[in-house]
Structure 1
Amino acid sequence: MSIVESPVATGNVLVVDDNARARQSIVDVLEMLGHRGSACSGGHEALQRLDSDEFDAVVTDLQMPGMDGLELVQQIRRRDADIPIVMVTAHGSVSTAVEAMRFGAADYLEKPLNADRLEEVIHRVLESAASGDRATVSTPGETGQVAMIGESRAMRQVRQRIAQVAPTDETVLIIGESGVGKELVARTIHESSRRAGRALISLNCPVLSAHLMESELFGHTRGAFTSADSSRVGRFELAEQGTILLDEISEIDLALQAKLLRVLQERCYERVGSSETIEADVRVLATSNRDLPGEVTAGRFRRDLYYRLAVVPIELPPLRSRRDDIPLLVDYFLQQTASRLERPVNCLQPAALDLLVRHDWPGNVRELENIVTRACVLATDGQISTDDLGSWLHAESAEETCETHESPVGVKLDEMERRLISATLEHYDGHREKTAAALGISPRTLSNKLRSYGLAPRAKTFARAI
């Protein structure tokens, strides 16, 4: 069993199981992998711990007396929309896995637990949470809860294209820079389709190796490889009669691209280690922030797969190219933040709004949302001025990027984020909850980012036998 080295993939994990030996075994493995493990014996105790302590993920058994695992997932989701939840089940059927993921679980594990599989799943869900990924699945019945804000010509064209393609079963490729809202478009397409009553299963392609990606997509049989102690249901099978979202599809290995092409062409696949062909009634949506034609030319992406994916392409414009939408987005985020903070809606002074409109927004809509949230938290009199925006935005740099349509030269986005987090944490004297609120992220996401940038101590690794 390998030890995960990435600091992003370590965290504080709450284990919920009514069996004392089982939950302690999971905690032991987690600590051996460098995580901090805490345990409780039931759902009600778990909710109390989540209200009082900060956790990065939850691992819960399915069958427990009183509150079972599915009910616990629902209760957690009402409190926290983002925390990754992993369901442990002895039954491992497709119906059980789909039901758990529909209620908001990020993944599932089968009993008896395999240490390598536990390591793999926890590592992935923590990395996905740290990268800002949202829920893995769109629960049936959530239609209408998403918002496509903007009245610019570009956004009207996007909404028109969504309306045209959503009722069909055609594959859609959603293209755009990071932070423009590609996942939002995918959710809107799914929730406006005939498959809205089924699951939307997503997979974040960059966080998986080629070997793990194939198993995640298509599943595997027991004994298919060294750590395959039991059969595994893949994402395509979980998404049966629903929709699968392949996020940042350009990161898929070339060999696996050929197998994905076959699914799109023939609507069938085999689990790893099996010769049994499984038919796939699944709609495929894919996103990419890369220039895929350029990747094809460079030999990193299959031309035939690109054409299969781009049956109906939807290109989302960067925020800097639709500045007229910024006031509408600002107003929406002001309303949302006021509701979340249970405060009156802040008023943005004209000069401050002008500053926001002129900024180049390398992080696009996600960056704008964070800035507006931060300004609302920091404002003391209900008015947001240019002073409240402070060092986050500068008129000079905004004018420069407006003219060049490029991000600041020599400063990478992750370095800008690191500086921003460090300065905000210093402003609040190290208070993580206030810092997270100012940045518009959850405390758990903040903790993961602090570990990622070396701004917080890592969890201690224990050399403990399993």
Structure 2
Amino acid sequence: MTVVAKNPPQKIRNQDRNPAGRWPGLPLAFPLFFAQLSSWYMSFSTAHSWHLCDNCQNPHHGPRGCMAPSTAGPKTVLCVDDTPYVLQMLDMFLTAVGYRAIPASNGREALELATSFSLDAVIVDYEMPELNGLEVAQILKREYPQLPILMYSARHPQTEASAPGIVDAYVEKEHPQALVMALARVLNDPVPVLVRRRFPRFATSSSFTLRFPDRDFDGDTAFEGTLRDLAEGGCGGQVDAQMVPGELVSLAFGVPECEIMLELRARVRYQNADSHGFEFVDLTTAQQKELQRCLHAIAAA
């Protein structure tokens, strides 16, 4: 029996990039921003939970980035950027620290999504065509005065962008850790602990099959999921299966960039929102070499 993940989110594929693997018109700060961000592993302390903040409990203040009493699950953050790769990276890192990311590729799409989702915060790029980040922030603040808005840019925008009542936090692109810290601060969440990754992670998108070799199933039960990122030491992805940290699993996945299939043993590291993190264990020398070759291919794509 195969269980397929329900409504898997659409992923940004490598072939959606241009052949050079770059995105024309990107400020030089973009590669630096995400190279730095991808070198950090972000996780909330064990004290993190979805609770009411002081503003929600104070009858003199409206909710500001707080979960409603009847709402359960991760806090939802609308991410607005006209660059697909940036949206994918934001989704990866916000999910890793327990948030739910809703992507919008332009300002008008962001305004439409704001009417469809109960949002806890918005992260918006300042430099976008048609509606820029400041214009999007002004419209959202007019419609949702209590909605926290964070803005980032390669260079400091006009002074009104950081004026009180419009943007709650402004972050320059070359300071990625500050973006995560600022989001936790405006949402009254515990500050995430940032430590350097042992292995760099690379964004990728492919299907994988997960099995539980230590569970006593009748027959071969498999779960289909979507790979989000891959590293020499592990991977992250989305799968509709219940598991606990430390549990041993088997992961079989293809890597389009090097056209091979890998089946590796791994342990569950974390489960945040709809994302899972896995750490590879007991790899053979041959498996390690194949994995390294694929990572080089992904990096060069």
TM range (shorter): 0.3 to 0.5
**TM-score using structure 2 length:** 0.41
After TM superposition, the score normalised by the length of structure 1 is 0.27
Q: Which has the larger radius of gyration?
A: 1
